[in-house]
C-alpha cells in the first residue's frame, strides 16, 4: 500500500517522536511503501493530506495528536469536495491526549518510553478500511470538518487558554488542561442562556458547555457519548446547564459514570443536525482546536471518510461490522 506518513514533530513528547521511523519500518516490513514527511507549520498537515490525494496515495497515516488528525481530515475532505476518491486515513498516536486513538484501541504511551508507535503500526497493517461519518462545523471562523467533537463554552475557553501556551501544553500535557479548567470554574456563576436546536427539539438553559461528539470518549477519561458510533450517520449531543459550584460535584460524578439521563442539569440526544447559540458569544472548539465563537451549526456527512480501523475490541464497538451500502475493505489487498 503506497502510504504518505505525515509526522508532526511539535506534537507530544520528544521521546515519542523518535519512534516515528521505527513505526515506518514496521509498515515497510509489511510490504507498504512509505514516504515520511514532517509538518512545517499550522496548516501543513492539511496541505500535505490534500496533495496526497492528487498524488495517488492509497493511505495517509498521521503521527500526531487529535489536532493534527483534524488538519489531515480537512485536507482529505477538501479533496473529496472536488470529487476525488480518498485514501484511507490511519493513526499513530503521538500527541498529548490521543483521544481518537484511545477510542480505537490503539496503544497510547503514558510516559513516552513505551514503544507505542511501532505497536500501533503493527495494528494498522491488520486494519480494515471503513467509511466513517465526518462532522461539519460552521461558526464565526468559517467551516471545519471533524472526526471527534465540537464543543461550546467552558471546554472551548479552556482549549483557547491552553493553545495560547503551546510550550506549557507540551511540557505538562493533560495537567495543563486541568489547571486551566480549575481557573475557569469561578466563572460558572456568569454562564449565559444557551439555546440548542437538536433535530427540531429546542433546549434552553444557563449553559456551561455543550459537546457534539462523533466518538464515545472526551478529554481522555470522560465517556461523554456512550452511544456514539462512527458509522450511524448521527452525532451525539450533551448539554450541561444550571451547574453551580454547589451542584457541580454531583453532576461531574454522574458524568464520569455516564448517568446523565438521571441528571436534571444535563441533556443527551443523537441527531443529524445541531445548532447552538448563546445570549453572549461563546468560544467554540473543533477537535480541541479553537474555532471562533457561537453561533455554531453542526451537520453530518455519513460515510464520507475511509478510516483504518484496527482489530481491537474498542474499534469494533465504535465502528461495527459494515452494514448494507457501507464500504469495508482489507488494506492488505492494495499495493
- For 59-96, what is each residue's pLDDT tens digit? 999 999 999 999 999 999 999 999 999 999 999 999 88
Domain boundaries, the chain: 2-125, 138-299
Q: Do the domains at 2-125 and 138-299 have one common CATH topology?
A: no
pLDDT band at 325 (very low <50, low <70, confident <90, very high): very low
Name the CATH architecture for the domain at 2-125.
3-Layer(aba) Sandwich (3.40)
pLDDT tens digit sequence for 202-254: 999 988 889 999 999 887 667 888 899 999 999 999 998 876 555 555 555 55
C-alpha cell, 327: 464500504
Q: How far apart are CA 104 and CA 331, in angstroms?
A: 17
Q: Is the pLDDT of residue 1 over 80?
A: yes
Cis peptide before 68 (omega within 30 of 0): no
Secondary structure (DSSP) of 120-188: HHHHHTT-EEEEEEEEEEEETTEEEEESSEEEEEHHHHHHHHHHT-HHHHHHHTHHHHHHHHHHHGGGG
What's residue 176's pLDDT?
Answer: 54
Does 335 score more than 50 pLDDT?
no
Kindly state the percentage of the chain with pLDDT values over 70: 77
In which region does residue 25 sit, left (phi positive, over 0), alpha (psi from -120 to 50) or beta (all else)?
Answer: alpha
CA-nearest of 299, 12, 303, 308 to 136 is: 299
Please give the grid coordinates belonging to residue 248: 457541580
Domain boundaries 138-299, corresponding CATH code: 2.60.200.40
Among residues 295, 317, 142, 109, the alpha carbon closest in space to that of 229 is found at: 317
Count of positions (residues) in the chain: 335
State how far the Cα of 237 lies from the Cα of 227, in Å rounded to an integer.
Answer: 10
What is the Cα gyration radius of the chain? 19
Q: Count CB-CB contacts under 10 A for residue 236.
A: 23
Q: Give 242-300 pLDDT, tens digit per residue.
A: 765 555 555 555 554 555 545 677 899 999 999 999 999 998 989 988 899 999 999 99
Amino acid at each position: 500500500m503506497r502510504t504518505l506518513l505525515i509526522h508532526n514533530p511539535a506534537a507530544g513528547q520528544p521521546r515519542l517522536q523518535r519512534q516515528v521511523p521505527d513505526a515506518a519500518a514496521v509498515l515497510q516490513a509489511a510490504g507498504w511503501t512509505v514516504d515520511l514527511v514532517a509538518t512545517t507549520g499550522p496548516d501543513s498537515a492539511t496541505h500535505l493530506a490534500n496533495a496526497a490525494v492528487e498524488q495517488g496515495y492509497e493511505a495517509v497515516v498521521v503521527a500526531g495528536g487529535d489536532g493534527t488528525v483534524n488538519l489531515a481530515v480537512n485536507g482529505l475532505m477538501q479533496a473529496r469536495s472536488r470529487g476525488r476518491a480518498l485514501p484511507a486515513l490511519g493513526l499513530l498516536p503521538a500527541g498529548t491526549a490521543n483521544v481518537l486513538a484511545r477510542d480505537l484501541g490503539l496503544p497510547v504511551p503514558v510516559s513516552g518510553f513505551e514503544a507505542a508507535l511501532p505497536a500501533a503500526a503493527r495494528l494498522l497493517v491488520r486494519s480494515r478500511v471503513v467509511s466513517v461519518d465526518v462532522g461539519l462545523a460552521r461558526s464565526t471562523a468559517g467551516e471545519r470538518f471533524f472526526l471527534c467533537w465540537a464543543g461550546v463554552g467552558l471546554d472551548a475557553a479552556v482549549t483557547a487558554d491552553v493553545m495560547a501556551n503551546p510550550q506549557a501544553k507540551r511540557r505538562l500535557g493533560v495537567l495543563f488542561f486541568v489547571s486551566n479548567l480549575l481557573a475557569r470554574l469561578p466563572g460558572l456563576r456568569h454562564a449565559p442562556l444557551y439555546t440548542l436546536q437538536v433535530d427540531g427539539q429546542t433546549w434552553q438553559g444557563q449553559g456551561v458547555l455543550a459537546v457534539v461528539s462523533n466518538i464515545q470518549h472526551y478529554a481522555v477519561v470522560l465517556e461523554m457519548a456512550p452511544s456514539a458510533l462512527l458509522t450511524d450517520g448521527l452525532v451525539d449531543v450533551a448539554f450541561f446547564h444550571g451547574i453551580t459550584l454547589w451542584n457541580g460535584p454531583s453532576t461531574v460524578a454522574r458524568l464520569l459514570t455516564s448517568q446523565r439521563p438521571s441528571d436534571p442539569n444535563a441533556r443527551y440526544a443523537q441527531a443529524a443536525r445541531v445548532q447552538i447559540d448563546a445570549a453572549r458569544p461563546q468560544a467554540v472548539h473543533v477537535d480541541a482546536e479553537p474555532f471562533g465563537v457561537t453561533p455554531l451549526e453542526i451537520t453530518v456527512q455519513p460515510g464520507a471518510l475511509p478510516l483504518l480501523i484496527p482489530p481491537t475490541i474498542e474499534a469494533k464497538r465504535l465502528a461495527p461490522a459494515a452494514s448494507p451500502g457501507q464500504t469495508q475493505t482489507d488494506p492488505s489487498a492494495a499495493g
